[in-house]
Chain A
Amino acid sequence: MTASPPAAGPPTKGNPTSQAPVLEVRNLSKQFAIRNSRKLVHACDDVSLTLYRGQTLGLIGESGSGKTTVGRCVLRLIDPTSGSISLDSQDITKAGKKELQRLRRHMQIVFQEPAESFNPVLTVGSQIELSLKVFSGLSQAARRRRVNDLLDRVGVPSVAAGLLPGALPAGVLQKCSIARALASEPRLLVLDEPTSALAPEAEADVLGLLSKLQQDDGLAYLFISHDLSLVRSFCDFVAVMYLGQIVELGQKADVYTSPRHPYTQALLAAVLHPDPRQRLTRQGRGAELTGEIPSPIDLPTGCYLASRCKYVTGRCTAERQELIQIDASTVVRCWRAGDLPATEKRPE
């Protein structure tokens, strides 16, 4: 039932198929060495995905799922152990320092904590200007104007440019973070939990901005998050990660309404809906996942979820699970995906 290298990503959505993908990741793996030990931490394993212009791929998973590592590897902020990464059909996996510096303009990142991602002793404006200094070759006056334009675009008053990061509230600062990412006119934006540290109002604000920017510029987003409801409203495609592997990848609607992988099902069942009328008791929610989560240092041979899955069989623990193509746009890493009972979805 295992397919030969599955179409590792979503097909183009309304885009001409002749257009090359902005990002293509194939079999990405990353292991970290532990000091004074032969053992390795398997941060991510065999991750493949494809992203086209104007699309948003959500990467969801809980802590330890490897989603942050994937985001860092894509930008080559960390070097992958194996696999390949292509940006606009150009292989950047082995690119050297100089070449990377040149390529960096096309892919940028927005971090989770806005206060952390800015140098506390330099003004916000000067930090946004940094990209321009490196990539644009504009004069100082022109750069300053660009900074103001960027701030304008993200809806931040231009006085912010002269302030220190500590002076701005988190929501505004995160928008400045986005302005900085836009400075080099990238094609790909990795958004690493961009709103997790923000209050709900600021969060809604920032998401609105990101949507608009995507519409205007055709940016491709790799949206990393642990917030399932958020990913649902914001992303086109969703990849669910568990212990470094992608366990399910497909169109948002499919993944959320009929999740195939037991882990996805459990994840979705655990979300607390802000609606008192749909309050479920513990029994109602069902103890979907029990048992201990394996350590990323000592991963089991077979399915990583085997120790906690209620559908586990002998084959699950014995064989390493590969991604199986379910339909044109969905892959699942579970050989039983076809015959598991579908979960009851709550009325929306």
Chain B
Amino acid sequence: MLFEVSDLCVEYRSLDEISRAVNGVSLWVASGEVVGIVGESGCGKSTLALALLGLTRRNARITAGSVRLAGTDLTSQTDKQLRQFRGRRIGLITQNARSSLNPTVRIGKQIATVYATHTGASRADAKKAAIAALRLVGINDPERRYEAYPHELSGGMAQRAVIAMATVCRPDVVVADEATSRLDVTIQAQILDDLQHAVQEVGSSLVLITQDLGVIANYADRLYVMNAGEIVETAPTARLFEAPGHPASVSLLESQLEESGAEFRLRGLPVDGRNLPEGCWLQARCPFADDKAGCRTVHPELSRAGEEHQVRCHRTSVVIGRAAELTR
């Protein structure tokens, strides 16, 4: 089962201005794979997450590209058709678990409802499936927890309930957008383990969208680095940590590794989606920018920098060389 995004573009309209949030993003996830999408805040990853399920906000539109799940293009489906996919074939877990749960309905019922809606199962069967889902995500005593209201659960429990809800129908793809960033460290590891376990059991693909390098270093097989709405680098996890080829990747690594300085940090603020310059969009912020390499005139394309390693930069070889100092 292949999940493939091709040249996806999402724009925001606000009071006559158009802001390009996602610009020609292409990525793919194979069945059973865990893929990580990282990038600084404002790079467009959350917009991307929503766009994958066709859930972008009112003032945003998908203007080009496709999102294919086993051949079907989700972007060409109506909202009614998409509802068949959401929850059943593709699931989303967001950062704030509590806002995904209806505070007036018991969690067991919420999960069972999702299951029943998509499979037409009987109440009894749906309840069984919900209990199984709760157990799968590491909730002890799921029969009792089935009856709990969201406010009776701790933050970690609530997040687990949301994961259960997203995986109960055994979707082909699960998208987790900063699913654990607000949780305590002891809970985070447990939940990620449970999520990985649930996903492996079911045979789904997992897309982890996060800024936390610890999470992706420990759970992702391949990585995509986003910046200014574009994929600027993609590589297997180990390779990216060893030899990052894009300044944005280096910047991210540097800010999270202990005992490092600010040498390779991207300066200033994220690029304004309303005013994208000629040439590389990072030129004003990049410590490696160089006129002679065409940084200010030619917008770089993704080019090969190793086995399964692609980088969107004119100065890749320099970056890899300099970054080696950073990553030992």
List residues of chain A with CB under 8 Å of any chain B CB: 62-63, 169-170, 199-201, 203-205, 208, 226-229, 232-233, 266-267, 270-280, 282, 285, 288-289, 293
Contact = CB atoms under 8 A, between A and B. Distances in A.
Given A63-B155, A229-B258, A272-B212, A199 B41 contact: yes
A199 B186 contact: no
Contacts of B262: 204-205, 208
B256 A274 contact: yes
Nearest to A61: B184
Nearest to A62: B184
Contacts of B258: 229, 232-233
B109 interface: no
8 contacts: A62-B187, A199-B41, A226-B184, A233-B259, A270-B186, A274-B212, A276-B217, A279-B218
Contacts of B298: none
A199 B42 CA distance: 10
Contact of A274 (B184, B190, B257, B266): B257
Contact of B238 (A274, A276, A288): A276
A232 B188 CA distance: 19
Given A208-B262, A233-B259, A277-B238, A282 B185 contact: no
Interface of B: 40-42, 154-155, 184-190, 192-193, 197, 211-215, 217-218, 237-238, 241, 251-259, 262, 265-266, 269
Given A62-B184, A201-B40, A233-B259, A272 B237 contact: no
B42 to A, nearest CB: 8
A289 B156 CA distance: 14
Contacts of A270: 185-186, 188-190
Contacts of B190: 270
Nearest to A274: B213
B159 to A, nearest CB: 12
Contact of B189 (A170, A272, A275, A278): A272
Contacts of A279: 217-218
A272 B219 CA distance: 10
A274 B242 CA distance: 12
Contact of B217 (A62, A169, A275): A275
Contacts of B189: 270, 272, 285
B247 to A, nearest CB: 12
Nearest to A63: B184
A252 to B, nearest CB: 12
Given A63-B155, A199-B41, A228-B185, A272 B217 contact: yes
Given A169-B269, A204-B262, A285-B189, A280 B218 contact: yes
Q: Which of B215, B218, B241 has the most CB of A within 10 A?
A: B218
A176 to B, nearest CB: 15
Contact of A200 (B184, B187, B188, B211): B211
B217 A201 contact: no
Contacts of B217: 272-276, 278-279
A63 B186 CA distance: 11
B223 to A, nearest CB: 10
B260 to A, nearest CB: 8
A165 B20 CA distance: 24
Contacts of B185: 62, 226-228, 267, 270-271
Given A62-B184, A229-B214, A276-B218, 8 more contacts: A229-B258, A232-B258, A270-B186, A272-B189, A273-B218, A274-B241, A274-B253, A276-B237
Across chains A and B, which 10 residue pairs bring their CB atoms closest together, nearest first?
A272-B214, A274-B213, A62-B184, A200-B255, A199-B41, A270-B186, A204-B255, A282-B193, A270-B189, A276-B238
A285 B196 CA distance: 15
Nearest to A293: B154
Nearest to B220: A276
Contacts of A199: 40-42, 211
Contacts of B213: 274
Given A201-B266, A274-B257, A267 B214 contact: no
A276 B241 contact: yes
A276 B257 CA distance: 13
Which one of A199, A226, A233, A279 has the highest number of Cβ atoms from chain B below 10 Å of its Cβ?
A199
B188 A272 contact: yes
A296 to B, nearest CB: 12
A288 B190 CA distance: 10
A273 B214 contact: yes
A62 B252 contact: no
Contacts of A289: 186
Contacts of A293: 154
A274 B218 CA distance: 7
Given A200-B255, A273-B217, A274-B217, A267 B186 contact: yes
Contacts of B241: 274-277
Contacts of B254: 204
A142 B101 CA distance: 53
A201 B255 contact: yes
Contacts of A282: 193, 197
- The interface centre, meaning the residue of B186, B241, B265 with most chain A CB atoms within 10 A of its CB, is B186
Contacts of B154: 293
B15 to A, nearest CB: 16
Find the residue from B192, B212, B238, B258 having the highest chain A CB count within 10 A. B258
A229 B258 CA distance: 8
A289 B213 CA distance: 24
The listed residue with most B CB atoms (<10 A of its CB), out of A232, A270, A288, is: A270
Nearest to B258: A233
A275 B189 CA distance: 15
Given A62-B185, A226-B185, A282-B193, A272 B266 contact: no
Contacts of A285: 189, 193
Contacts of A169: 269
B317 to A, nearest CB: 23
A274 B254 CA distance: 11
A85 to B, nearest CB: 27
